[in-house]
């Protein structure tokens, strides 16, 4: 087990677990939660990347715990949840399931490999199911807790060539709503955020490549992509746009909101 504890948990402070915290939205969210005073557990497969985020969480004055775990591996998730609960003293205030993979792009259903389909479902749907199955009972026992699942606006619509991704994010809505109905009586909320394109390193790399291929500058490449997506606000999301929605749902503003899908996509799904 590669898990490491960074810094002491100084009595107070709420506790959050963020999956997919080694890069992109999850990493930025973990840091924002530390700014807000949360102690943060960071889950992902890349130990070094998690460690870097954990060091920054610690610099912000919060404790961090890294959980090196492949969400596709049921036993690994069980072991990580055990480690997490030991670290947190059986407490959790916020679970944000951010980890996800895009899967094949531009591949029609008839040509989609079963292994690719399974990998997307195992990460984007079964992963959140596994963390929720371990942590919702803990929240119910505590009589409070917030779960936020990061889906995608492709889970609000069909998308040619991206069926596994769309199906996984669409199914995550069903999981979210059903769980919300189950745990509401215990004071636990479960919600879903549907981002559109987020300007993370992975997406920027794609926009840069397209700019090169089409002989245009990167901003033109971004503008073209966003126009094709149909975002009326004509800009991609920043990780901060998703982070602020998490803050809202996790804070006082979200206390009477459950089973909902909040779309943060610049106006694609309207």
Ligand X SMILES: NC(=O)c1ccc[n+]([C@@H]2O[C@H](COP(=O)([O-])OP(=O)(O)OC[C@H]3O[C@@H](n4cnc5c(N)ncnc54)[C@H](OP(=O)(O)O)[C@@H]3O)[C@@H](O)[C@H]2O)c1
Binding segment for ligand X (CB under 6 A), chosen from 33-41, 56-64, 199-207, 246-254, is 199-207
Binding segment for ligand X (CB under 6 A), chosen from 53-61, 65-73, 79-87, 213-221, is 65-73
Residues, the chain: 270
Dihedral over Cα of 130, 134, 140, 142: its sign: negative
Q: How many chain residues interact with ligand X (CB under 6 A)?
A: 29
Active site residue 165: yes
Q: Which of 14, 23, 164, 166 binds ligand X (CB under 6 A)?
A: 23
112 binds ligand X (CB under 6 A): no
131 binds ligand X (CB under 6 A): no
164 binds ligand X (CB under 6 A): no
24 binds ligand X (CB under 6 A): yes
45 binds ligand X (CB under 6 A): yes
Q: Which of 72, 133, 220, 260 binds ligand X (CB under 6 A)?
A: 72
157 binds ligand X (CB under 6 A): no
198 binds ligand X (CB under 6 A): yes
Q: Which of 60, 63, 139, 150 binds ligand X (CB under 6 A)?
A: 150
- Catalytic residue numbers read 165
Chain residues binding ligand X by CB under 6 A are 19-26, 44-46, 49, 69-72, 98-101, 123, 150, 152, 195, 197-198, 200, 202-203
């Amino acid at each position: 087990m590669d898990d490491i504890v960074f810094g002491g948990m100084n009595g107070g402070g709420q506790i959050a677990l963020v999956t997919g915290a080694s890069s992109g939205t999850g990493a930025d969210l973990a840091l924002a939660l530390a700014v807000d005073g949360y102690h943060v557990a960071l889950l992902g497969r890349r130990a070094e990347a998690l460690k870097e985020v954990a060091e920054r969480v610690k610099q912000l004055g919060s404790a961090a715990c890294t959980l090196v775990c492949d969400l596709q591996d049921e036993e690994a998730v069980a072991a990580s949840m055990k480690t997490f609960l030991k670290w947190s003293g059986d407490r959790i205030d916020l679970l944000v399931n951010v980890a996800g993979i895009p899967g094949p792009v531009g591949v029609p259903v008839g040509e989609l490999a079963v292994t690719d389909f399974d990998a997307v479902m195992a990460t984007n749907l079964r992963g959140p199911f596994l963390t929720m199955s371990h942590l919702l009972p803990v929240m119910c026992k505590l009589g409070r807790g917030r779960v936020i699942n990061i889906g995608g606006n492709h889970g609000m619509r069909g998308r040619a060539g991206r069926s596994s991704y769309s199906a996984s994010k669409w199914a995550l809505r069903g999981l979210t709503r059903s769980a919300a109905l189950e745990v509401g009586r215990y004071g636990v909320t479960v919600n879903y955020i549907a981002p559109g394109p987020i300007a993370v390193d992975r997406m920027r790399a794609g926009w840069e490549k397209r700019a090169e291929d089409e002989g245009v500058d990167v901003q033109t490449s971004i503008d073209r992509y966003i126009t094709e997506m149909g975002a009326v606000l004509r800009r991609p999301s920043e990780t901060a746009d998703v982070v602020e929605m998490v803050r809202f749902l996790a804070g006082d503003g979200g206390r009477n909101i459950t089973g909902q899908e909040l779309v943060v996509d610049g106006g694609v799904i309207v």
